[in-house]
Structures are given as C-alpha cells and as structure tokens.
Structure 1
Amino acid sequence: MSETFEELLPSTRRALDHRIATAQAEGRAPSVVAAVVREGRTVWTGARGTVDGREAGGAPDAATQYRIGSITKTFTAVLVLMLRDEGLLDLLDPLEKHLPGAAVTTGVGEVTIAQLLSHTSGLAAESPSPWWERTPGSLRPTLADVLGEEPLRHPSGRVHHYSNPGYTVLGSLVEKLRGESWETVLRRDVLEPLGMTRTSGQARSPYAPGWAVHPWADVLLPEPAEDLGLMAPAGQLWSTTADLARWARFLAEGDARVLGPESVAEMRRPAAAPDPDTPEAGYGLGLQLARRDGRTLVGHTGSLPGFLATLWVSTEDGLAGVALANATSGPLMSALASDLVRITAEHEPRMPAPWAPLPDADPDLLALTGPWYWGPAPFLMRLAAGRALELVPLSGAGRGSRFRAEDDGTWTGLDGYYAGETLRPVRASAGPGDTDDTEAGTVTHLDLGSFVFTRRPYDPGAAVPGGVDLEGWRPVPPAS
C-alpha cells in the first residue's frame, strides 16, 4: 500500500515522535501507532513498542489492524445519512415507521432516527448483563435482548445520554432498508469506494492482539476479541492508521461516491445540547465534538477490551490526528490525537489561500454590498465566490451569517442564527406610494426572516416594521 507524504519540518516530526513515545511509555501500552493528515494527505506516521509487548516482538506500522471500538459508530451514522439522502427515510421518522413492531417488542417505537444518531433517544448506555464487550453477541440474538425490559433511562429528546444499544438499533435499521447485513452494506457502499481495504469486521493479519496491563506491575493479560453480533454497528470494526487517515479526509471533505460535503457537514454540527458538566464536549449526528487548545475538533473516541482509539479532525486547520493502542487502559488517546493536531498546527500553521479577485461580478450583486442597518445596528454585506453573501456585524456583537445563493433570487443562511433562514432583497416598484428618491428596481431593504435591514439607520423610506417616528432623529431635549 502506497501513501503520499508531504515533508514536514524535522522539528515538527521530532515533536510528534516525542509525543507518541511519551504516550506509549507513560501510558504503559504494548504499542501505539499514530498518523497526521494535512489537507487530505498523510504527512506523518509513527509507531512505538511491539504488538506483543516483547522487546524483540513485531513492530506495528500503518497497515497493522487495531480494534477501533466506537469509531465504528461514525460509519454506521454515514450509512443512515446515505439512506436519508436517497429518500428512504427522514431523520424525524419514528423508529416504528421502518421497524414495524418496535414499539411492542422493544418499547422504543416512538424514538426518532435523529435522536438515535445524536444519543438523545433516552436509551440506556449499555445492554443488560453480561457486559456486551467481553461476551459473544450470540447471547443477544434479538433487539429485545439488546435493549432489555426497560430500555429508556430518560425522556426521549430531552438530554444527551450516550447509548451503545442505540447504534445497534440503527444497524438493524440499515439492514432492514437495504435487505443485507450491516457489514456487507458498509463494505460495498463505504469502505470499497474510499479504498479502505484494511478495515473489516474481523481481524486480518497483520493485527495487534488486545492486552490488559496490570495496574501495579509491568505484566500483561490477553483480552478476548468477541464477535459482537447485533452490537457490531456500535463497536465491531478493526482498522489501521492508513485507513483511518482516509476516513479523516472523508469526514472533513465528504465524497460524492458515499456522502456529499453538505451531508457530512451536517454530521459535524451540534445535534445535542452539551452536558453542563463538560461544556467543551458535544455531539453531532454520529460524531463527537470537542473544544481543545482553542480549536474545534470533530471525530470519535473508541475503546474495547484490549484497545483504545481516537480520530480527531480540525477543519479550520486542515489537519487530523489518529492514534491507536492495544491496551484496555493507559494512554490518554483522546489527548494524544488532539495533541498531534496541535503540535502540527503550532509548528506549521496552515497557509491562507492567496487572495484573488472574483472571476466575474454581477452589478446587481455588487449593489447589495456595503453597510446595512438593522435598526441602528450597523452590518456589512460582502460578496464571495459563487454568488455567496456574508453578513458581518460591525459593532463587535450581533448575528452574522454566510448565505448560499438560490435559483429564485434569494439566499439561504448557512450558519449562526440565520442558518436555514431566507434572505430576500426587496426592490422598489413603479407606482403610487414610491418615495421621490427611490428609483424603480432599487433594493430598498433586505428581508431576513422578517428582520428588515436598511441602507440608513431606521430608514423612513423603507418598510421598517412598526414604522419610523415622523420627526426623525433628534438631540436630547434640554433639561427644563
């Protein structure tokens, strides 16, 4: 397998090598492998230790499989979004619509697909005993066995409560609508198009065995590697740093062969309220969100007995970090992967794209640029490539947004308060009621979700809701 590497500075490579060496030594892991992706290309890989813990044992590399635990959930979420984009389901659909009888057999028929994706369904964190991660999936042959007699722990849609059984349900949903096994669908629709040939449901040599490390002595205990059965969509997969580097690029950019950029961006947006005890963390549609070192990261952590894994992507920096270890506990893999991103960003910050003029400029669009006022508050409208607009508050506070041009002459908000809202330029028309200084066809104001933006603060010639005092602006009256 060949990978394309762009040279990092020696100081950057040294810092990355030191970071994983520290993680492996202080975390007492038999082995640690890691990778950094920059602008979609793998630019660094590193490995420390041996997969069997012996000094002369086998050294891992970018093609060595490790179990990735709950990073598997990101793949399951993509399969569900693919079904949505094909029109086979809506994220607001109750489960009962696609799995008839779910309400009777499991008691979760009214839970929506979006709630399952974002862990706001209220389902329990784990399946009933015995612990599913160390026992064969054959012990839980049906969804009723996975969910148990009392599957709900919270009212659906009220709180974020991480649920492994929830992703078992999503896997069963995929199987029902595709008519094939979850793993078959995943391999054909996702792994093969993205060239992820070393990601699989079962281990394929070369792979690292899972180990537990004694807390008070440097000795090892082998961990079982069970087939999780119905729980597979929550944590079954094995993968490599090379394959996860490809997955990181997909999570940053999307891929039309699998899921387009807009749908992947939807996955990255917060879909669940953060826990007040951990406000730096959040959850999208199948993706964890974190705020570390002043940057927003998206991806997922993962663990199964004998393995730890993390993948973090910073779209702002154009970077991703992947870290895998074959230990049940020890190295703080979430911090390791985010540190790989931080180190690379600090040593070699992303170069801004060179400025270039727009290839063309519609005079009607240019006429929309410049200052606008919401009441007395000043805003600036800028024109970007592709007929896009950006509204920026000039007072340091206010509701700004980027807007995408639509075919009907309106724009749709892409982020912030106005995400999904419609921006519509309103033009003067010839006829009674026109002001003397308003030429027919001139944009008199912008209508943004019922808010009116005018060219002058509270412009009396525009359709300001509630009207404008006829006496206009005035000084403070003198004291009597």
Structure 2
Amino acid sequence: MTSSDILLPGTRRALLHRVATAQSEGRTPSLVAAVRRDGQIAWSGARSCLDGHEPDGDTQYRIGSLTKTFTAVLVLRLRDEGLLDLDDPLEKHLPGTDAGQVTVFQLLGHSGGLGAETPGPWWERTPGTTRPELSDVLGERPAIHPSGHRHHYSNPGYTLLGSLVEKLRGDSWAEVLRREILEPLGMDRTTPQASAPHAGGWAVHPWADVMLPEPAEDLGLMAPAGQLWSTTTDLLRFAAFLAQGDERVLRASSVEEMRAPAAPAEAGDWGGTYGLGLQAVRRGNRTLLGHTGSLPGFLATLWFSVEDDVAAVVLSNATSGPPVGTVAADLLQIVADAEPRIPDPWRPLPEVDEELLALTGPWYWGTQVHALKLLAGGGLELQPLRGAGRASRFQARPDGTWTGLNGYYAGETLRVVRADDGTVDHLDLGSFVFTREPYDRSAAIPGGVDENGWRGLAL
C-alpha cells in the first residue's frame, strides 16, 4: 500500500485544499505539509510560488523552537540515567549562571521566571558569536518573575538546558543530539546547519507582493532553543517517538511525562498548557501535543494526537503570514474526523487472577457507588458509576498494594484490607474506605455505623 492509498480521495483533496489555501492566503513562497497515521506517512503535499519547484518531504526548513523539544528529550535522558533529578537547582550541575536557583523542571516547563529573550541585539538576526558567554545570554537580571509561580516562555532557559547537557555529557549539544536522538530515530535530514535541498527564508511585504531574503544566522549558545533544520518526513518520525517512546532514546513513561502539564497556563494570549518541552492545546474534544517554531524567514508546527494516532507537520519559508499552527491542527482534524481510527478488536484476558476478579464490581464510598474493573495487563480502574467524580487507574506494587496512575488518586496508595478470617473487609484508598454495601455495618469504617441502621421517614 502506498501513501496515496491510505486515505480516501475526498480526504486527500480536503488536505490539499487546506494547504493550497494556506499558501495562497498566507502569501508564503512555499508551504509543505504531511500527515502520519497507523505508523506511516498517509499524505504529503506542498504549494509553491515557483511552478515546478514544489518542496517535498526531503526539503529542509528551519524549525525554530521545535528544537526545544529535542533539547528536552536530552535532559530527560540524563534524568533517566540518574545523572540529575528534575528538582535539582541548576547551580548543582551548572554553577555560576546567576540563575542557579531555578530547577531543571522549571526550565523545561518555562516556569523558572527567566526573561523571554536575551539582552542586546535581536538574537535571531545576529551571529551567535555576539553572545559568547552565558552571561551575555542571561544579562544582568535573568529572573523577572519568582521561580515556580507562573508560565513565562523563556528562550534563554533552553540555552541553559543545552549548556547543562554539554556539561554532563562532556560534548557539544549538536553532537549529543546527533548521537542520542537523530541517529537512533533515523532522522538523517535534521541538522544544525542547512543541507541541500533546503528552502531559503523570506520576508513578504505586508502591503505588496514583494519579498526580501532573511539572514540565516548560526545561533551559537542559543542553538538549543531554536537552531535546527528539518523535513516533514523526519519530524513525523519524531512525532511517532513522542507518542510512543523508543527504548533506544527515551522510554514510553518518560515521553508520557513530557506530555503532562508542568505549569499553569499563562494569562492573556497563551492558549494552552506546557509540559516538559511540549506544548498542549485543546482542539474541540481532543488534545494536540507538539511545538510551534519560528525564526526570521521560517514558520513550523508539529502537532500529534495520541488518541487518534495522527500527526501533522506544516513548514513554511516566510517570516509571517500563514497560520501554520492552525493549518497543522486542521490537517490532523480532517483526517481524524473523516476517517476515525478503527479500534482494536476486544479480546478476553489470556489468564484470570481469581483474587483480582473477586475484587471487581461495585464498591461504595459512603453512599456513592463506584465500579472496580480489572484491566488488560493486570491493572485496576476505579470510577464512579453515576455522574462525574474521582476516577483513577492503578498498578500493582510488589508489596500487594496499588499505586494510582492518574486523576485525583495519582500517586496515592490503594490497599485491600482483610478481616481476621482472610476475607476482604474494605478497600483503603488514601484513608478513604470503600465497602461492598453503603456504610457496611460489618466493615471497619472510621466513626462506626449507627447500630440502628438505615431508617425511613418514621424516625
């Protein structure tokens, strides 16, 4: 099956129409896009103002702040290897920066309170050699907000993370990136410097159909915040990794950690939340994860939906104009809505744990009824049967207890409490007692149960 056979003709035409409209109305020299689903590129398309010279999945564009996600993966690798803790202050590993009180976690999620940009000349349009030291990147007043109090996007913060990677690896950020992410994932068209074929960056005049070439500067110390060039093909490989993990780079639980919100949404024009190197936005009833990026002459966006198993990339070579973030979200939505993912067939469990099976069914927290379900893989799920409430999944511990994985009870302990004769008396979930009947008189419930039991109107 070729990529052109994966999607229906109507879906392919809708995707092409969206890309063509974006290039035309956005007045960009070129725009290239691609969509991935079910483990392969399902569609790609491009539009260009140069007839016969449309870019393709092998054409490099600069991706700007999408670079930050790569840097975040390198930092999470250091954590997984035990070389740092996310709650470590920067000073522990990279002393003398005047931002040492900020934690690694805060830098990853842009909640360290550091300034958004560097002091001095516009860093995106000046050579990196004008900022040879971290002090030139941070300036005399690195922090403009208290650390940990709010989300405030910081390009210098990711410069610090790149320097942290270099310090702990004893090698350049670019070399560590190549060795630990790009080579294992087969991303040989993602590079710090442009490699032909690549697009040139342009500024389009806002009031006339004329163009001006933009400089493509080497960002120096700022490279971990926005240096990379890449292609739609490579970025869709990266999206698959961010959705599923890859043991050669980062395990699934760590990429899932990257996707979780790390800081409250910023007031004003920030329309989503931020994880650890990943943006998250709500589009209708789905969550899109990924990152946007821009540098003079270029715009880029990668969005993916884990639930739909769909990812979309849009790259453009204009300083401003096409709303590539919106276009990428539209492409993803076109595919996910027009051709919904076919669920895997239901299958019974390969074997039954009789003790776990005996725990399933209704449990009462006071008078509220919950259902305990046995999941594939041996996990448990507890959720209210009526209305909204506290629902969580649990995984087993070696000591016979269970740990909450999500929701209100994330990290909390579920214990099966047994009576003297070995029968189950109740479930203890973070001190809350769940019984088989509402306020079961035979169970050990704090405060006890009135000996007269339930009663009607005549008290």
**Scaled by the length of structure 1, what TM-score is found?**
0.93
What is the aligned partner in structure 2 of residue 330 from structure 1? 321
The 1-side partners of 2:2 and 2:295 are apart by 28
Question: In 2 relative to 1, CA 294–278 (structure 1 residues): closer, same or farther, beyond 3 Å?
Answer: farther
Structure 2, unmatched stretches of 5+, are: none
Establish whether residue 451 from structure 1 lines up as the match of residue 432 from structure 2: yes
What is the aligned partner in structure 2 of residue 194 from structure 1? 185
What is the aligned partner in structure 2 of residue 16 from structure 1? 15
**Scaled by the length of structure 2, what TM-score is found?**
0.98
What is the aligned partner in structure 1 of residue 206 from structure 2? 215
Conserved? CA contact 2:113–2:144, under 8 Å? yes
DSSP-derived class of the 1:386 partner:
coil
DSSP-derived class of the 1:43 partner:
strand
Question: In 2 relative to 1, CA 25–193 (structure 1 residues): closer, same or farther, beyond 3 Å?
Answer: same
Conserved? CA contact 1:213–1:219, under 8 Å? yes
Q: For residues 44-193 of structure 1, what are the structure 2 equivalents within 5 Å?
A: 44-49=43-48, 53-55=49-51, 58-102=53-97, 107-193=98-184
Establish whether residue 262 from structure 1 lines up as the match of residue 262 from structure 2: no
1:465 offset after TM fit, Å? 2.3
Please give the per-residue CA displacement for 1:360-403, whole angstroms capped at 9, x wherever unaligned.
Answer: 11100101100011111110011111111111111212100111
Conserved? CA contact 1:5–1:42, under 8 Å? no
1:219 offset after TM fit, Å? 0.7
The 1-side partners of 2:197 and 2:102 are apart by 41
1:55 offset after TM fit, Å? 3.6
What is the aligned partner in structure 1 of residue 27 from structure 2? 28
The 1-side partners of 2:325 and 2:410 are apart by 31
DSSP-derived class of the 1:263 partner:
helix
The 1-side partners of 2:223 and 2:4 are apart by 33
What is the aligned partner in structure 2 of residue 43 from structure 1? 42
Question: In 2 relative to 1, CA 377–278 (structure 1 residues): closer, same or farther, beyond 3 Å?
Answer: farther
Q: For residues 183-332 of structure 1, what are the structure 2 equivalents within 5 Å?
A: 183-277=174-268, 280-332=271-323
Question: In 2 relative to 1, CA 98–274 (structure 1 residues): closer, same or farther, beyond 3 Å?
Answer: same
Would you say how many aligned residue pairs link Structure 1 and Structure 2? 459
Conserved? CA contact 2:59–2:196, under 8 Å? yes
Amino acid in structure 2 at the alignment position of 1:20? V
What is the aligned partner in structure 2 of residue 436 from structure 1? none
What is the aligned partner in structure 2 of residue 418 from structure 1? 409
Amino acid in structure 2 at the alignment position of 1:364? E
Identical aligned pairs, as a percentage? Answer: 68
The 2-side partners of 1:278 and 1:379 are apart by 40
What is the aligned partner in structure 2 of residue 402 from structure 1? 393
1:471 offset after TM fit, Å? 2.2
Conserved? CA contact 2:3–2:43, under 8 Å? no
The 2-side partners of 1:329 and 1:468 are apart by 68
The match for 2:444 among 454, 463, 467 is: 463
The 2-side partners of 1:404 and 1:177 are apart by 33
The 1-side partners of 2:363 and 2:446 are apart by 16
Structure 1, unmatched stretches of 5+, are: 430-439
The match for 2:359 among 354, 360, 368 is: 368
What is the aligned partner in structure 2 of residue 441 from structure 1? 422
Conserved? CA contact 2:152–2:266, under 8 Å? no
